[in-house]
Amino acid sequence: MTPDDSDKRLREKIERAFVPADLCITDPDAIEALLDAAKAEPFSEEKIALMLRKFKGEIPLGEREQEEEDPVWTESELTEEEEALVALHRNGGGELPPAIQEKLRRLREQAKSQPEEGETCDN
Site for another protein, residues 20 to 59, rule: CB under 8 A: 20-21, 23-28, 31-32, 34-36, 38-43, 47-48, 51-52, 54-55
Q: Are 108 and 100 in contact (CB under 8 A)?
A: no
Report in angstroms how near the CB of residue 63 gets to another protein at its nearest.
8
Q: Does 1 bind another protein (CB under 8 A)?
A: yes
Nearer to another protein, 6 or 91 (CB): 6
Q: Does 94 bind another protein (CB under 8 A)?
A: no
Element holding 76 (H helix, E strand): none
Report in angstroms how near the CB of residue 90 gets to another protein at its nearest.
32
CA–CA gap between residue 87 and residue 102 (Å, rounded): 12
CA–CA gap between residue 105 and residue 99 (Å, rounded): 10
Task: Give Cα separations from 32 to 15, 68, 80, 104 (angstroms).
Answer: 22, 40, 59, 63
Q: Which residues bind another protein (CB under 8 A)?
A: 1, 5-21, 23-28, 31-32, 34-36, 38-43, 47-48, 51-52, 54-55, 61-64
